[in-house]
Amino acid sequence: MTFDNNLDHIDSPRPISNGMDKIVSLAKRRGFIYPGSEIYGGLSGTWDWGPYGVELKNNVKNLWWRMFVQERDDMVGLDAAILMNPKAWEASGHVSGFSDPLVECSNCKSRFRADNLEDKNVCPSCGKKGTFGEARQFNMMFKTHVGADETAASISYLRPETAGGIFVNFKNVMDSIHPKLPFGIAQIGKAFRNEIAPRDFVFRAREFEQMEIEYFVNPAEWESAFEEWRNNVHAFNDAIGIPRDAVHELEVVPEDRAHYSRRTIDFEFDFPFGRKELYGLAYRTDFDLKAHMEASGVNLEYMDEQAKQKFIPHVIEPSFGVDRTILALLASAYTEDELGGESRTYLKFNKAVAPIKAAVFPLLKNKPQLVEKAREIYLSLKKEVPQIMWDDNGNIGKRYRRQDEIGTPVCITVDFDTLENDTVTVRNRDTGEQVREPIANLKSVI
């Protein structure tokens, strides 16, 4: 296990063990994920998304948005500001309570998150026993100043979760859209936490992305809504290709729940470094709306026209981490096998998330007729399916390897027969099998 035991913001990216090395190295080598600010030695807990990483991430976010916002009539979207009035975070309890227990080794001065230590008596950095004093609570919100004055009055925070923006806009959505309960507001966006020990690649970062839903219900119906969203979480995993048998539900015991939650299920995934939280599903009761109503003085009640009754809606919150989803996808897809007597590595992404859906090659790069025909096919396919790639570098074998490593499901090769009969070779990533297909069929093949 590796620990990032430094609270300094600038330190170099650490090596990652536990079988993750290959995934991290492929992610960098093939343009998925790079260490943040790498040429300056990195910035701990930050990662930069490369050309294929950003396509993969967008595919996941678009599928989520489509499934949970666009295809439903009880959901709407929102994109709230990252910087919020600090009173919102005071009301939600984050200013006083969003902290992790921090311990420091009196011998080597390394710092750790106390609840993540395997042995609370031994410093994992220097190996000394009994060097940790009492844990102190470390607030994880990033503070900043808004405006030219750096005074206490100008303090604001980078949001530690996207949920806050949804609660403070509850009234705006009610007044502008007039939805009836039950309904939900979804948001995808960045969240920031000054984690004591960012580690395990993008699993625990200081800047990351969340896809969150606040689903507002009549309190009498919270249990059925909770069940519905529990099933929806699994349906989303099915759609993107995270295997069900690698996901495990953990009923969180009351003493481990967040301050706002009356019931929480963690959806844990078998990451290469152990079984850890992928997503959370929480019943936040009316905690947030009530707290914001009291702190702001603005009425956030809902009027049930039929029952002629006013009440504060209760909330079911499914919370999906984008970065952990990508890591689970990379870990599920990473495959090593042997093809044609040679070992190879490939990413077995399903078509829905694969960053590139198909690559088009001319068999030979120095034959203008082949290149021209291949270009024509490439451009016409790209109009229909934008995530198509052109590759004429190196020999065909090298091109296949490259496409395998970024998870491209099919490669299309234009050869001399194409010029005769308008068919191409279509090669399947998983089996390496090649079949001839008429050009006219390519769209449906992809």
Residue number, 143 or 180, with CB nearest to ligand ATP = 143
Candidates 11, 277, 301, 437; binder of ligand ATP (CB under 6 A) is 277
317 lies in the site for ligand ATP, by CB under 6 A: no
Nearest residue (CB) to ligand ATP, 192 versus 222: 192
Residue nearer to ligand ATP on the CB measure, 292 or 324:
324
CB distance 10 to 41 below 8 Å: yes
Of 250 and 339, the one with the shorter C-beta distance to ligand ATP is 250
Question: Which CB, 193 or 373, lies closer to ligand ATP?
Answer: 193
Binder to ligand ATP among 4, 214, 286, 323 (CB under 6 A)?
323
Residues 19-38 that bind ligand ATP (CB under 6 A): none
Evaluate whether 212 touches 162 at the Cβ level (below 8 Å): yes
Question: In terms of CB distance, is 141 or 205 closer to ligand ATP?
Answer: 205
Of 193, 292, 373, 427, the one binding ligand ATP (CB under 6 A) is 193
Contact between 113 and ligand ATP per CB under 6 A? no
Interface of this chain with ligand ATP, residues 223 to 252, rule: CB under 6 A: none
For ligand ATP, which is the closer residue by CB, 248 or 443? 248
**Nearest approach, Cβ of residue 363 and ligand ATP (Å):** 44
> Cβ 116 to ligand ATP, closest distance in Å?
9
**With CB under 6 A as the contact rule, which of the stretches 119-127, 175-183, 315-323, 341-349 interacts with ligand ATP?**
315-323
Asked if residues 179 and 214 have their Cβ atoms less than 8 Å apart, the reply is no
* Cβ distance to ligand ATP smaller for residue 160 or 409: 160
Paired sense of beta strands 155-158 and 136-139, if any = unpaired
- Separation between Cα atoms, residue 329 and residue 345, nearest integer Å: 15
Q: Pick from 112, 279, 287, 349 the residue near ligand ATP by CB under 6 A.
A: 279
d(CA 221, CA 70): 23
Taking the C-alpha atoms of residue 146 and residue 136, their distance in angstroms, rounded to an integer, is 28
Q: In angstroms, give the least distance from the CB of 249 to ligand ATP.
A: 13
- Least Å from the CB of residue 188 to ligand ATP: 12
Q: Does 195 bind ligand ATP (CB under 6 A)?
A: yes
SS (H, E, C) the chain: CCCCCCCCCCCCCCCCCCCCHHHHHHHHHCCCEEECCHHHCCCCCCEEECHHHHHHHHHHHHHHHHHHHHCCCCEEEECCCCEECHHHHHHCCHHHHCEEEEEEECCCCCEEEHHHCCCCCECCCCCCECCECCCEEEECCCEEECCCCCCHHHEEEECCCCHHHHHHCHHHHHHHHCCCCCEEEEEEEEEECCCCCCECHHHECCEEEEEEEEEEECHHHHHHHHHHHHHHHHHHHHHHCCCHHHEEEEECCHHHCCCCCCEEEEEEEEECCEEEEEEEEEEEECHHHHHHHHHHCCCCCEEECCCCEEECCEEEEEEEEHHHHHHHHHHHHEEEEEECCEEEEEECCCCCCCCCCEEEEECCCCCHHHHHHHHHHHHHHHHHCCCEEECCCCCHHHHHHHHHHHCCCEEEEECHHHHHHCEEEEEECCCCCEEEEEHHHHHHHC
57 binds ligand ATP (CB under 6 A): no
Label the pairing between strands 263-271 and 183-192: unpaired
Q: Which residue is nearest to ligand ATP (CB)?
A: 321
Q: Is 209 or 404 the residue whose CB approaches ligand ATP more closely?
A: 209
Rule CB under 6 A: say whether 321 interacts with ligand ATP. yes
The rounded distance, in Å, linking the Cα atoms of 3 and 112 is 8
Q: Is 319 among the residues that bind ligand ATP (CB under 6 A)? A: yes
Measured from the CB of residue 206, what is the shortest distance to ligand ATP in angstroms?
Answer: 7
Asked if 112 touches ligand ATP (CB under 6 A), the answer is no
CB of 396 to ligand ATP, least distance (A): 39
Question: Binding segment for ligand ATP among 32-40, 102-110, 321-329, 411-419 (CB under 6 A)?
Answer: 321-329
Given 59, 210, 237, 408, the residue binding ligand ATP (CB under 6 A): 210
Among residues 72 and 275, whose Cβ is nearest to ligand ATP? 275
Size of the site for ligand ATP (CB under 6 A): 14
Q: What is the end-to-end Cα distance of the chain in Å, rounded?
A: 41
Residue from 42, 189, 280, 313 binding ligand ATP (CB under 6 A): 280
Give me the least distance between CB of 68 and ligand ATP, in Å please.
15
Binding site for ligand ATP (CB under 6 A): 193, 195, 204-205, 208, 210, 277-280, 319, 321, 323-324
